[in-house]
Chain A
Amino acid sequence: MQPFTRDQMARKAADDIPEGWCVNLGIGIPTMVANHVPETREVVFQSENGVVGMGPAPSKENEDPWLINAGKQLITLAKGASFVGHADSFAMIRGGHIDLCVLGAFEVAENGDLANWATSENDTAPAVGGAMDLAAGARRLWVIMEHTTKDGRSKLVERCSYPLTGLRCVTRVYTNLAVLDVVQGQGFVVREMAPGLDFDALQAKSAAKLHRPA
């Protein structure tokens, strides 16, 4: 069995983004999604700190310290970019103007519940950032994450055990083992599996019931 690499997971998500969408990418593997959208396909990448229309990472000589994304990384602007303040940036997010948000997660439940901001009820200093705004406000929410934790526990679950970020908000999950849709009233529906993996083996690595596509 050949698990998908992080780059392959990012590319699969990128391949599913059509021209014209406005997309917000979380930190980690989700950020890598932008690298796999070809320049010929116009997608507007939005960042919570008020950048609408990010381009690729800058070369050393093109770095501008006034241009950062929500992950505090230096960025460039795409042609057609604009700036807004936080109130307007989050109006864009909370008002349903973002077509897609791609985030990482600790757990995704079969009803689409997302847990990705706190690992226990008594974290020393829990940090939420914009995750709850994106979970509530983006028109679609896709998750990219490893299928299991480092100690082998499934991150696909029947009910989240960690504190929730949003309820019934995740619509698709890309893992190193599979691509799955979250269908309300049904649960996880497998779209694609890593080469050499069969349905039963994938089910064995998952803590929620999986469904074959209709």
Chain B
Amino acid sequence: MINKIVQSIADALAGIKDGSVVLIGGFGSVGQPDALIEGLIEQGARDLTCVLNNAGTGRVGVAKLMDLGRVRKIVCSFPRSSDPVVFETLYREGRIELELVPQGTLAERIRAAGAGIPAFFTATAAGTKLAQGKETREIDGRTYVMETWLKGDVALIEAWEADRWGNLVYRGSGANFNPVMATGADLTIAQVQHLRELGDLHPHMVGTPGVFVDRVVQVDRGAPWV
């Protein structure tokens, strides 16, 4: 019997090593795996590279992980937020590395990792500061920049519903980075609000097939705080 459901956050996060590249889903707080991030703070892994759209807000979640000195590097598209105090302080003091990636290139580099594509060419950022030092190529008369895949050791994602095979259903705008990140990591861990019996999720509604998911933990998260 396939059963990817684990009973605790600690079980869900077991084995995450120091130095891991951690993909973290969510856009705003919608689809953000809050309980898994809190759990990672407890779990203790250090020297992490975190890949996510923002660089944390206030002093909770990813910002707290950074504040505790556990994050070596952030890979993101938008390190500003309503309250980016922790990141900005660490960045100014040279205590955290930033790799700034256009949002679509970030998603596509993760997609490439999940699809077994080591590099691709894109028009995004061609001729700009963010393409400096990168290989370019003229294809059909336009300049494209080579980008390489971005593989995660771990992906922490959030969904609305799951079954024991790890099939996931998203709610509203809660898919965002979650489905692509589910494909791009060696170990994909999903926090979900509701568990359903196998067969109860409509196949057309499944946003991420369980093949991409390793562990599922149920958490009563409630509504995103937007």
Contacts and interface: CB of A to CB of B under 8 A. Distances in A.
Interface stretch (A62-70, A149-157, A192-200): A62-70
Nearest to B129: A163
Contact of B177 (A51, A86, A126): A86
Nearest to B143: A167
Contacts of A48: 103-104
B126 A121 contact: no
A133 B103 contact: yes
Contact of A133 (B102, B170, B176): B102
A18 interface: no
Contacts of A65: 30, 223-226
Nearest to B160: A66
A164 B129 contact: yes
A84 B175 CA distance: 7
B73 interface: no
A133 B145 CA distance: 12
Q: Number of contact residues on A: which range applies?
A: 35 or more
Interface residues of B, number: 50
A140 to B, nearest CB: 15
Interface stretch (A87-95, A101-109, A203-211): A87-95
Contacts of B191: none
A203 B178 CA distance: 49
Interface stretch (B11-19, B42-50, B76-84): B76-84
Contact of B128 (A50, A66, A90, A166): A166
13 contacts: A64-B172, A68-B226, A86-B104, A94-B104, A94-B108, A126-B79, A127-B80, A128-B103, A132-B130, A135-B124, A164-B129, A167-B127, A167-B128
* Chain A to chain B: the 8 pairs with minimum beta-carbon distance, closest first: A66-B172, A90-B104, A133-B104, A85-B179, A86-B107, A136-B123, A130-B103, A87-B180
Given A133-B104, A163-B129, 16 more contacts: A65-B223, A67-B172, A72-B28, A83-B173, A85-B207, A87-B107, A90-B103, A93-B104, A94-B123, A125-B84, A128-B101, A129-B77, A130-B103, A133-B102, A133-B105, A135-B124
